Amino acid sequence: MITKSEEGGKKMKQKIANYILILFMGVFLQSYQNADSGLYKYVDKNGVVHFTDQLSQVPEEYQNQIKQTNPEKGPLDYKELVKKVEPAVVYIETCDKEKQFFHQCSGFFISSNGDVITNRHCLEDAYSGIIKTSDGKIYPIKQIVGVSQKGEDIIRISVDIPPSDKVKYLSFNPSLPEKGERILVIGNPLGLEFTASEGMVSGIRVSDIRDPYTCTFSEEEDKLIQISAPISHGSSGSPVVNLKGEVLGVAVSSIEEGQNLNFAVPSYYINKLQPVNKSLSELAGIISAEQSCYDGLQDIDHGKYEDAIKKFNSAIDSKPDYAEAYFLIGFCYYSLGNYKKAAEAYKNAIRINPELYVGHSYLGLAYVELDQFDNAIKAFNNTIRIKPDYAKAYIWSGAAHLMLKKYKESKDLVEKGISIKINGKSPLSDDDLQGAYLLLGEANLNLSNYQEAVSAYKQAIKLNPKDPYAHLGLGKAYISLGDVKSALAEYKILEELDKNKAEELFKQIYK
């Protein structure tokens, strides 16, 4: 009854892949806000009421009506806001190894010395680049001075600006904006340099982000700002500002199939960038490794584990200390049933990053599959040491103890795993809990705690009424209690679910 690859593997696969593409595709479609959320309202000559979040969409003949019906939300002087923000916005162009044009995007000055914020993906595989200001000045990109370590897709670059040239830069507001707040985006969509678009904050999205670059596993809630202002190719890296000209976020993505589904990374992540000192060409190798890892994750999502292993090995060739890539190689071998190679890969991941708790956990699972239960227990103990609230580690360790017939230890560990609560809720899925109660029932049955075994198996059946193992275990517990009538009731259920297990229980009833 231990969690095997179909139980543990599928769930981890879903965990890894669940939101890998959020920064590029977006999720969680929602409708517009109502009229009280910052929209303009006007009535046309036919008496039809219209709502829009963009003043430019209000026909000129109805502009005066807007002022009368919405005096507190009257038309802003976006011209002044554009004049304030535009000088800090830059056009970015990069070149490849052969110094050929490679990519173009947007960015903005964030400091008086000329540091620029843009999207990390904009500089993938670039070897050199320049920025161009709104007044036509061109400066070379000097180096990378800060990079995001998770999925936020932000990078900070230093630009070689002469001391005589003064730059205008933007300040940022670290607070999350409110739904309905009006915003302005200035960028370079599709090569149309320094284009301004107005809109509003449509919502704040909370997602379980898994980094498409570093493949690390964060249990924190990460946020994206959904905006109605359009983000086209080339607008990535644009500042999303409020009506004070403060940066609320950095534009990252849009859904081409949808309407007004555009996203920005909150500006407070700018303060969380990891300081680095690398040239574009130095970063290119690292990003290439991370891109290989990202591609491998897509193969995992489609069950192409052999192809994924090749991608992860390619990532390691570029970045030998890539612990997460080793972990994912282990995951692939584990999913393929090659537990020996899986264990080797997990050990490499742990060697590089001893605190990678998922590495210890899956090393333990590989050892279980190899019948190395003592080694499995050591691995699970390491997981618990690093992350004491990781409930699965207790349950998996309980399973390993059960295989060694250490029933008391197994019972205590599984009960501990079941008891863990995070924010008042069990972190375990119903499937995980159902498996835990099966283990608990088996441990209690072997400890002659028959009534406790009955309770555990009933909990397992409550979570999955059609599990034959749970009904078989419950039938055995009833036999041990001398309750033949209840045992026969379980036999009848098993006749419908699994005739072999029904026969097994029948023989025990009448032996």
Residue 230: inside a domain, yes or no?
yes
Q: Classify residue 469 by burial, with Cβ atoms within 10 Å: 0-12, 13-18, 19+.
A: buried
Do 218 and 126 lie in a common domain? Answer: yes
pTM of the entire structure?
0.55
Residue 48: inside a domain, yes or no?
yes
Query: Mean pLDDT over residues 377-401, rounded?
Result: 96
Do 116 and 187 lie in a common domain? Answer: yes
Residue 165: inside a domain, yes or no?
yes
Residue 477: inside a domain, yes or no?
yes
Residue 493: inside a domain, yes or no?
yes
* CATH, residue 484: 1.25.40.10
Domain boundary among 278, 299, 320: 278
* Res. 76 pLDDT band, cuts 50 70 90: low
Do 197 and 267 lie in a common domain? Answer: yes
Domain boundary among 278, 309, 332: 278
Condensed to tens digits (0 to 9), the pLDDT of residues 320-335 reads: 999 989 999 999 999 9
Residue 153: inside a domain, yes or no?
yes
pLDDT of 271 above 50: yes
Range of the domain at 432: 404-511
* CATH, residue 156: 2.40.10.120
Query: Mean pLDDT over residues 58-82, rounded?
Result: 61
Going by C-alpha positions, the residue among 482, 484, 480, 477 that lies closest to residue 459 is: 477
Query: Mean pLDDT over residues 265-290, rounded?
Result: 79
Total of domains in the chain: 3
Please, are residues 153 and 114 in contact by the beta-carbon 8 Å criterion? no
Domain boundary among 51, 75, 99: 75
- What pLDDT score was predicted for residue 127? 85
Token readout for 509 is: 């009833």
Do 54 and 159 lie in a common domain? Answer: no
Do 47 and 86 lie in a common domain? Answer: no
Do 94 and 231 lie in a common domain? Answer: yes
Do 39 and 156 lie in a common domain? Answer: no
Residues linked to residue 51 through DSSP beta bridges, in sequence order: 41
Do 257 and 121 lie in a common domain? Answer: yes
Do 253 and 129 lie in a common domain? Answer: yes
Do 90 and 231 lie in a common domain? Answer: yes
pLDDT of 277 above 80: yes
Residue in the block written with tokens 């490679």: 102
Q: How many CA atoms lie within 13 A of 500 on its CB side?
A: 1
What CA–CA distance (Å, rounded) separates 14 from 8?
10
Do 69 and 213 lie in a common domain? Answer: no
Residue 194: inside a domain, yes or no?
yes
Query: Which carries the bigger pLDDT value, residue 198 or residue 109?
Result: 109
What CA–CA distance (Å, rounded) separates 220 from 364?
25
Residues in the chain: 511
Condensed to tens digits (0 to 9), the pLDDT of residues 1-37 reads: 444 444 444 443 333 333 332 222 333 333 333 333 4
Residue 128: inside a domain, yes or no?
yes
Stated as kind and residue range, the H or E segment containing 50 is: strand 49-52
Least-confidence region, from 204-208, 320-324, 449-453, 488-492: 204-208
* Res. 218 pLDDT band, cuts 50 70 90: very low
Do 199 and 132 lie in a common domain? Answer: yes
Backbone angles phi, psi at 381, to 5 degrees: -60, -40
